Structure 1
Amino acid sequence: MIRHRIFILSLVVSIISANARAQHLPAFKPLRYDEDYSWLKKDSMTDFYKRMKYLPLSANGNTYLGYGGDVRFQYFYSKNEAWGDAPKDDDGYILTRWLGHADLHVGKHFRTFVQLQSSLANSRIDPSPVDENPLELHQAFVDVSPVVSGKTNLTFRLGRQELMYGSQRLVSVREGPNNRQSFDAVRTILTSGDYRVDAFYSHFVKAEPGIFDDGFNKNVKFWGAYLVRNKMALVHNIDLYYLGLWKRNATFNDGSGTETRHSVGTRLWKSNGDWKYDMEGLFQFGKFAGKTISAWTASINTSYEFSEARFKPEIGFKAELISGDKHKDDNKLQTFNPLFPRGAYFGLAALIGPANMLDMHPSVSLKLTDKVNLGIDYDMFWRYSKNDGLYAVNVALIYPDGNSGKAKIGNQLATNLGYQANDFLYLQGEFTWFNAGSYLKEVGSGKDILFTGATVQFKF
């Protein structure tokens, strides 16, 4: 253990020292396999870090190996966790996550990517698979790219891999929680000019409590097609998609059973400039335990940055309507299923998920310096249907409807202070206060939650 820590410390010092002497490198991507370091073939200024990202294995340099990773330490303390219905924890807990990958390119047409993940929850009372997964093969896939050109690229990908689409409302790597999620999938990726089309069929990888025991999961199947068109007139960018889900065992306020759900949606977005927006709407249909599924959601997320003002304040507003079940014990299910969304959906504390929800969410952020950012947001939550319950991010039922006539879930005030020390090191502190509403007071203890956390993350 001591040798291991010394090695990590030496690696951190070496990388930061190399970064101080060299030009800034491209930013790390949310999907680490999307990073491209082939340009280092033409870079005559080599150092320890660049040799780690691009290690030529052939005379012409077209076959090369690269390494990378991510180390994250987090401390969290929550007063009145689960609104007072969870076991009391006076000390808090520590989450650690280790990710390491190797990326082998053999010419332009073949590539393999392998990544290990270790997620540990120290002093966490009854940790869930989202918190802890000791050591697993997180990703391991091969790419075959028969078409590679400046304008058109076609890739076939087979193996365990992360998936991420759009704003991550439906399909995400789940970066916020300790354990990122992946899929055993076959996938086709076509890019041509301003178009990108993905088609895939997969099985969700279920996290198990042991080491290297996340086997093939036959109980959850996920498939779909996702089209992105960039640089359009008026709307700027548009996504069109179809996503299919089959779960052997699903549970909602209206019962349990097998779920087959189809989602069809579109997204309009603009992510650059002072004015930004992200608007999305989708409809879901299918079958659940003999019932007919008819669910939907609509959201708008817009912001404006005063880029010429001091601290470059950015004011944002987000609102969502997310359907819930209208009548219990009938032949229909209107509860929306967010599929595989990002973990911190409504704020960093990730207390509730996007199902049966009306949400209004103003926010403001400030760039105090080039490296320090402050964010403040205020969330207001109501149940969309009083005959449906409250759900977690993973669609687990937190509280049933409880025959409560109250719609108000509560209000949430959150703030975070982030410091980007350099290209590799990021630190963040966060605080969340959730003021429990009348519904939570009726169906549970209904105590206010205070949640604090600190994060240190190092990527290389």
Structure 2
Amino acid sequence: MGQPRRVYPLQNVAPNGHQGRWGNFTRGNGESAGFGPVGRYGVAPWAEDWSYLRDPKLRNDPLDILKFIPLNDQKTIWLSFSGETRLRNWYEEHPGLGASGHPGSGRFTARNLYGADLHLGSHIRLFGQLINGDAAGWNGYGYGTTYRKKLDAQQAFIEITENMFGAKTGFLFGRQQFLDAPSYLLYNRETPNVPISWNGFRYYAIWDNIRIDAYDFVQTNINQTKMFHDTEDYGTRLYGFNTTVAVPAFHIGKQQVHSFLDLFYIGYKYAGSAAAISTATGTKSGFQTRNNFGFRWYGSAPSFEYSIGADYQGGTFNYAKTDQKRSVDAYAINATFGYRKPASFLHPFIGIQTDIYSGGNSHKTTGSVGTFATPFSPQTNYLDTTTYIAPANLISMSPILSITPRHYISLRLKAPVLWRENTSDAVYSSSARYAFSTGLNGRYVGIVPQASLLIQLNQHLSWQMYGARFIVSHNLREAGAKSGSYAQSNLVFRF
């Protein structure tokens, strides 16, 4: 949503052969099918479909030889390899609004994700993916196991597929990525080296115009520092179900609109620092259960795009080492609207993004907890490139401008203006509340002008750069926060 693109006659048709055949859910980048976006390559490499390369005449790249390797004469048993190497470096003038104590930090990270997809006929496949990562730099901080990771299994699952009741169905069991949720609620842990992964089962059924998805996972425990020692964290769970409907096309003026409606329930169980709640003087630790009931309706026409969603969050907060409980009563509203001018040489996209995440009352020790929570890595650049602000007790409004003067280069500009939704609640980072929130006055938090430049050097190599300046409000500065500049560079090789 809101990503710049050049408009061709087949703009809403996935690249031939690089995405599963999911009826109307194959439109655009295919994200509505529930496996993340897929272009030539996918965020989830197992969502790519290279079976068309049974015909070697269709190869158009030297590395296509690695995407379909037949293992029997009938070419029904075949192997596909995938890989990604990412080199990321970034500079922060005052990390975490000055709260981290590492001014002028420059960090460098490298990670490798390499996988193999073994298809045993048309109904069974095994997918495995290895990961390793390292980090260096000057005045660095936060280099835990999400940054420095010896070789381990990032994903390892079996999938069984069948055509049942007119639908394409599948059952996945094992360690896997999960991307079937709005990216502003749950995504793939982009900033560190190790993406988030889950252990358990997932079932899906996809018809031409409707699909369902049910799942139950525990998070992968990556805290071990030895090779191949990742286990399961049974205290952290993700479970739920989703229904997506391909809404019949309709017209606004002469514009034909294609859209999708998501209806979802997402359950979280988690503890640790992310589960702590804010108090008048600090935080209280505990264990949380969050139940999300929501919808998202999103679609596009040749000249505009839109996305609107809402999420009610219930559940309980259990204080650590006591029997005391509090209910959860929180909500979020997310909307993006934009206009595109396909005929222009610059192919501009002009839009606005608005997000509201409820806050609570830090002075209360009883009653419901009103602070919205997204503990599982929402998409990094959806709100704020710097990641200094979390989607909790927040109102954000931002203009968006994107241009794509060539098919291989795009520029995107944003300037989110941020306020606290509730002045009785704290300001939150991506991992905890800010200590300088104590005694903070006023609602205004700041503004974050930011830009991203993507250059697709070739179909395997991309270079993306981000720049931002977090300008804190007067009240936040008086409380101890600092404004600061941020720059990031990513060089990514994929096949």
Kindly, what percent of the aligned residue pairs are identical?
24
Q: Which residue number in structure 1 is paired with residue 245 of structure 2?
A: 229
Q: Which residue number in structure 2 is paired with residue 5 of structure 1?
A: none
Tell me the distance in 2 between the aligned counterparts of 1:380 and 1:104: 48
Q: 2:150 matched to 1:145?
A: no
Structure 1 position 42, deviation (Å): 2.4
Structure 1 position 89, deviation (Å): 4.8
Structure 1 position 45, deviation (Å): 5.3
Structure 1 position 98, deviation (Å): 0.8
Q: 2:207 matched to 1:199?
A: no
Q: 2:374 matched to 1:360?
A: no
Structure 1 position 79, deviation (Å): 0.6
Whichever residue aligns with residue 76 of structure 1, its letter is W
Whichever residue aligns with residue 42 of structure 1, its letter is D
Q: Which residue number in structure 2 is paired with residue 253 of structure 1?
A: 278
**Helix, strand or coil: the match of 2:262?**
strand
String of CA shifts for 1:107-166, please: whole Å, max 9, x gaps. 1110010011122211233424443333321100001113279x5211111000000124
Q: 2:485 matched to 1:450?
A: yes
Residues 338, 401 of structure 1: alpha-carbon distance in 2 compared, 3 angstrom cutoff: same
Farther off after superposition, 191-200 or 166-175: 166-175
Residues 400, 448 of structure 1: alpha-carbon distance in 2 compared, 3 angstrom cutoff: closer
Q: 2:472 matched to 1:426?
A: no
One of 232, 236, 239 as aligned partner of 1:220 = 236
Structure 1 position 217, deviation (Å): 0.5
**Helix, strand or coil: the match of 2:112?**
strand
Q: Which residue number in structure 1 is paired with residue 5 of structure 2?
A: none
**Helix, strand or coil: the match of 2:182?**
coil
Q: Which residue number in structure 2 is paired with residue 60 of structure 1?
A: 74
Structure 1 position 372, deviation (Å): 1.3
Whichever residue aligns with residue 79 of structure 1, its letter is E
Tell me the distance in 2 between the aligned counterparts of 1:306 and 1:68: 36
Farther off after superposition, 302-311 or 316-325: 302-311
One of 387, 396, 411 as aligned partner of 1:374 = 411
> Is the 1:172–1:342 Cα contact (8 Å) retained in structure 2?
yes
Q: 2:98 matched to 1:98?
A: no
> Is the 1:345–1:393 Cα contact (8 Å) retained in structure 2?
no
One of 335, 344, 350 as aligned partner of 2:381 = 344
Structure 1 position 370, deviation (Å): 2.0
Farther off after superposition, 278-287 or 397-406: 397-406
Tell me the distance in 1 between the aligned counterparts of 2:192 and 2:434: 18
Structure 1 position 453, deviation (Å): 1.6
String of CA shifts for 1:20-53, please: whole Å, max 9, x gaps. xxx9976111211100101111233557522210
Q: 2:201 matched to 1:186?
A: yes
One of 318, 321, 326 as aligned partner of 2:356 = 321
String of CA shifts for 1:220-251, please: whole Å, max 9, x gaps. 11100011111434582100000111124420
Structure 1 position 169, deviation (Å): 1.5
> Is the 1:244–1:260 Cα contact (8 Å) retained in structure 2?
yes
Residues 142, 271 of structure 1: alpha-carbon distance in 2 compared, 3 angstrom cutoff: farther
Residues 284, 421 of structure 1: alpha-carbon distance in 2 compared, 3 angstrom cutoff: same
Whichever residue aligns with residue 270 of structure 2, its letter is K
Tell me the distance in 1 between the aligned counterparts of 2:163 and 2:397: 45
Tell me the distance in 2 between the aligned counterparts of 1:309 and 1:455: 29
Tell me the distance in 1 between the aligned counterparts of 2:65 and 2:455: 28
Structure 1 position 418, deviation (Å): 1.4
Tell me the distance in 1 between the aligned counterparts of 2:380 and 2:462: 19
Residues 437, 134 of structure 1: alpha-carbon distance in 2 compared, 3 angstrom cutoff: farther
Whichever residue aligns with residue 96 of structure 1, its letter is A
String of CA shifts for 1:413-455, please: whole Å, max 9, x gaps. 10122111111110122211000113432433x2111011221
> Is the 2:78–2:120 Cα contact (8 Å) retained in structure 1?
yes
Tell me the distance in 2 between the aligned counterparts of 1:65 and 1:272: 38
Structure 1 position 320, deviation (Å): 1.0
Q: 2:494 matched to 1:459?
A: yes
Structure 1 position 92, deviation (Å): 1.0
CA RMSD, Structure 1 to Structure 2 (Å): 2.1
Q: Which residue number in structure 1 is paired with residue 4 of structure 2?
A: none
Q: Which residue number in structure 2 is paired with residue 112 of structure 1?
A: 126
**Helix, strand or coil: the match of 1:172?**
coil
Structure 1 position 315, deviation (Å): 0.6
Structure 1 position 330, deviation (Å): 2.4
Whichever residue aligns with residue 207 of structure 1, its letter is I
Residues 74, 248 of structure 1: alpha-carbon distance in 2 compared, 3 angstrom cutoff: closer
Whichever residue aligns with residue 288 of structure 2, its letter is E
Q: 2:38 matched to 1:38?
A: no
Residues 131, 304 of structure 1: alpha-carbon distance in 2 compared, 3 angstrom cutoff: farther
Residues 315, 62 of structure 1: alpha-carbon distance in 2 compared, 3 angstrom cutoff: same
Residues 442, 331 of structure 1: alpha-carbon distance in 2 compared, 3 angstrom cutoff: farther
Q: Which residue number in structure 1 is paired with residue 433 of structure 2?
A: 397
> Is the 2:94–2:104 Cα contact (8 Å) retained in structure 1?
no
Normalising by structure 2, we get a TM-score of: 0.83
**Helix, strand or coil: the match of 2:372?**
coil
Tell me the distance in 1 between the aligned counterparts of 2:221 and 2:433: 18
Tell me the distance in 1 between the aligned counterparts of 2:460 and 2:379: 23
Tell me the distance in 2 between the aligned counterparts of 1:434 and 1:98: 31
Tell me the distance in 2 between the aligned counterparts of 1:56 and 1:144: 20
4+ aligned runs moved over 4 Å, structure 1: 23-26, 45-48
